[in-house]
């Protein structure tokens, strides 16, 4: 996709660090932006802020873990703007902890937002993209944990792997089908952000009452990440790189800057495997 002005972008997790930056970036190039998030006050505030800059926006309260919410998001997008050209499945429920101690509800919430949120996204929007027969692009946000794993991150590493795998599978499906839909998977490295921001939106069933070893481990991980993030790139820089990747129709978006070089070698190996698979499937 080369032209963006007048087209429609949908961003889930739109009030998060990356989601908000993506929404602002799409608005800056003349797109109509649909902001979806589970936190109503922040959602309304973000939509107004972007709208004041002259962009056309629509705010839709959405819990991506609920299929009916995402169906409603798709219906409101089409009824308001007539179609959709970019879908960013960006919502996340980041939560770490000692794997054997994390409550089952924590695992469930991580998977239902990070994995099912992506599934609901493409199931609701892809039929619309196919029917409109126009250029379209899906960006699924994963994590560098989708390439390499670290301690105390079993739940979100598992979801990151799943999002990466689904993105690759969709990429090949659309290439084989001839549809005008492209797919990218965003693999953020070190970004200046509030790493604990998503915890505030967790259902009551997922909130620990008593500290555990898992909580202590999470605090340790957060402290290390916070220190690392001091040298990270800004969300705006991430959004710039995503927009360029959409122009270039790139599958993998490993954000440049920060500590990206340490992940580059592993991703290059994965890219080689992807190219070999495309040859075996006779995808040009």
252: annotated active-site residue: no
Q: How many CB atoms lie within 10 A of CB 223?
A: 10
On whether the CB atoms of residues 185 and 140 are closer than 8 A, the answer is yes
CA dihedral 38, 109, 126, 12 (to 10 degrees): 30
CB environment 62-72: b (16+ within 10 A), e (fewer): bbbbeeebbeb
- Catalogue the E-assigned strands of 90-202: 136-141, 181-187
Q: For residue 245, what are its two tokens? A: 């990747």
On whether the CB atoms of residues 121 and 48 are closer than 8 A, the answer is no
Please, where are the H alpha helices in 94-153?
A: 104-114, 116-132
CA distances from 231 to 85, 234, 238 (A): 34, 10, 14
- What burial class does residue 249 get, using C-beta atoms within 10 Å of its C-beta: 0-12 exposed, 13-18 middle, 19+ buried? middle
What gap in Å lies between CA 86 and CA 137, rounded to an integer? 5
Catalytic annotation, residues? 156
């Amino acid at each position: 996709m080369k032209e963006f002005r007048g087209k429609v972008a949908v961003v889930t997790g739109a009030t998060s660090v990356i989601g908000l930056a993506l929404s602002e970036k799409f608005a800056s190039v003349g797109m109509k932006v649909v902001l979806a998030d589970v936190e109503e006050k922040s959602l309304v505030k973000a939509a107004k802020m972007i709208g004041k800059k002259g962009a056309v926006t629509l705010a839709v309260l959405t819990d991506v873990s609920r299929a009916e919410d995402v169906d409603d998001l798709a219906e409101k997008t089409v009824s308001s703007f007539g179609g959709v050209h970019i879908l960013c499945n960006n919502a996340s429920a980041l939560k770490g902890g000692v794997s054997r101690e994390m409550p089952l509800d924590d695992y469930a919430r991580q998977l239902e937002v990070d994995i099912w949120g992506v599934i609901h996204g493409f199931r609701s929007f892809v039929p619309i993209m196919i029917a409109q027969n126009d250029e379209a692009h899906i960006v699924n946000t994963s994590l560098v944990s989708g390439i390499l794993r670290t301690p105390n991150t079993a739940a979100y590493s598992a979801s990151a792997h799943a999002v990466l795998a689904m993105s690759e599978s969709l990429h090949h499906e659309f290439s084989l089908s001839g549809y005008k839909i492209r797919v990218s998977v965003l693999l953020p490295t070190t970004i200046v952000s509030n790493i604990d921001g998503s915890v505030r939106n967790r259902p009551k069933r997922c909130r620990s009452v008593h500290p555990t070893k898992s909580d202590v481990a999470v605090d340790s991980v957060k402290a290390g990440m916070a220190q690392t993030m001091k040298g990270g790139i800004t969300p705006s820089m991430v959004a710039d790189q995503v927009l360029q990747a959409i122009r270039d129709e790139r599958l993998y978006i490993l954000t440049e800057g920060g500590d990206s070089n340490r992940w580059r070698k592993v991703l290059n190996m994965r890219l080689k495997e992807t190219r070999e698979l495309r040859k075996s499937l006779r995808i040009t």
